[in-house]
Amino acid sequence: MIAGFKVDEEIIHDLERLDIELYVRGQHGYWASLRVEPDLISRI
């Protein structure tokens, strides 16, 4: 179980540039959702 994590601001910027959405929510624990556009591989 991961108690917490910190994502560097530069990493967030890189993810946004690639149209990757990272969503983290905490209430009675934490979960994260990562949404990647289907054409991401073609851009790499």
pLDDT tens for each residue of 1-44: 454 556 667 777 787 777 777 666 666 555 566 666 667 666 66
Where in the sequence is the domain holding 38, given as residue range(s)?
Answer: 9-43
User: 22 in a domain, yes or no?
Assistant: yes
Give the pLDDT score at 40: 62
User: 30 in a domain, yes or no?
Assistant: yes
User: 18 in a domain, yes or no?
Assistant: yes
Q: What is the DSSP letter of 10?
A: H
Longest dimension (CA), the chain: 38
Give the pLDDT score at 1: 42
Residues 26/36, Cβ–Cβ less than 8 Å: no
Stated pTM of the model: 0.39
Give the pLDDT score at 23: 65
Give the pLDDT score at 4: 53
